Amino acid sequence: MTHRKLIVLRMVSAVAIVAWAAFIFGFSGQTGGESGGLSARVADVLVSVGDWLTGAVTMGEARAAAIEALQFPIRKAAHMSEYAVLALLVFAQLRLWPAFSGTGLPVRRVQAMTMGSSAKENVLAEEKDAAPSTPASPWDLYLRTLRKAALVAWGCAALYAATDEVHQLFVPGRAGLFTDVLIDATGAAIGLLLAGSIIALVNRPR
């Protein structure tokens, strides 16, 4: 990948992160009535789809009860999905940087490149002496950077979830709940776990 292409990808990824964070912020800015109305409409569609699939006809109080029962899981599933996407966008951005892609060099080695030959040899000798008797394979190093990127991405998503709950304290009809932070963080973790597993499976040495 050329340096110019890498820069473009980093910029596009950063814009996507900001846009998605703004999208989440916008939904969190809806009042309690607006948020409840949206989840009720989604629940109504799901009930209609269920009727179509089963051939049933849900009307009256039964339909109202079904819609009411569906609203809570719909809202929580939507939150989990939002933060799964946010975490994956941050993860993708991190993977474009050497420290999180497995292509970076140790800091001391980078510094050694600018030193004299004798100083450079000393640094490399220290690294060799400090290295374990069974050095990690390239695949182990790849998995290590993959996990590091996923952990940082999860932390960023969880932190934004916490700030979003604080934001909701100032929105009429909404509340900031620690349990919602846990739900959002769980969604981010699930998204990263699935993505990381797929990436590792696809790139695993044959």
Segment 66-88, tens digit of pLDDT: 999 998 899 899 999 999 999 99
Q: Look at residue 114 in the predicted model and tell me its pLDDT.
A: 46
Q: Look at residue 113 in the predicted model and tell me its pLDDT.
A: 45
Q: Look at residue 128 in the predicted model and tell me its pLDDT.
A: 57
Q: Look at residue 125 in the predicted model and tell me its pLDDT.
A: 60
Q: Is 67 or 18 the better-scoring residue by pLDDT?
A: 18
Per-residue tokens: 206 = 């044959």
Per-residue tokens: 131 = 């290295």
Q: Could you tell me where the DSSP H helices lie in 95-177? A: 98-101, 107-112, 117-130, 138-168
Tell me the CA end-to-end span of the chain in Å, nearest whole number. Answer: 23
Q: Look at residue 111 in the predicted model and tell me its pLDDT.
A: 44
pLDDT over 80 at 201, yes or no: yes
Residue with tokens 């994956």: 88
> Would you say 31 and 174 are in contact if contact means Cβ atoms under 8 Å apart?
yes
pLDDT over 90 at 132, yes or no: no
Q: Which domain holds residue 124?
A: 3-203
Q: Look at residue 24 in the predicted model and tell me its pLDDT.
A: 95
Per-residue tokens: 56 = 């049933």
> In the chain, pLDDT over 70 holds for what percent of residues?
83
> Would you say 176 and 168 are in contact if contact means Cβ atoms under 8 Å apart?
yes
pLDDT over 50 at 112, yes or no: no
Q: What does the pLDDT average to over 185-189?
A: 97
Task: Give CA–CA dist 57/145, Å, rounded.
Answer: 53
> Would you say 171 and 129 are in contact if contact means Cβ atoms under 8 Å apart?
no
Per-residue tokens: 79 = 């939150």
Closest CA to 66 of 78, 53, 57: 57
Q: Is 130 or 172 the better-scoring residue by pLDDT?
A: 172
Q: What does the pLDDT average to over 18-31?
A: 92
pLDDT over 80 at 135, yes or no: no
Provide the domain count of the chain: 1
Sign of CA dihedral 113, 117, 123, 129: positive
> Would you say 167 and 25 are in contact if contact means Cβ atoms under 8 Å apart?
yes
Q: Look at residue 84 in the predicted model and tell me its pLDDT.
A: 97
Closest CA to 100 of 199, 175, 168, 206: 199
Length of the chain: 206
Residue 108 confidence class, pLDDT cut points 50, 70, 90: very low
Q: Look at residue 129 in the predicted model and tell me its pLDDT.
A: 56
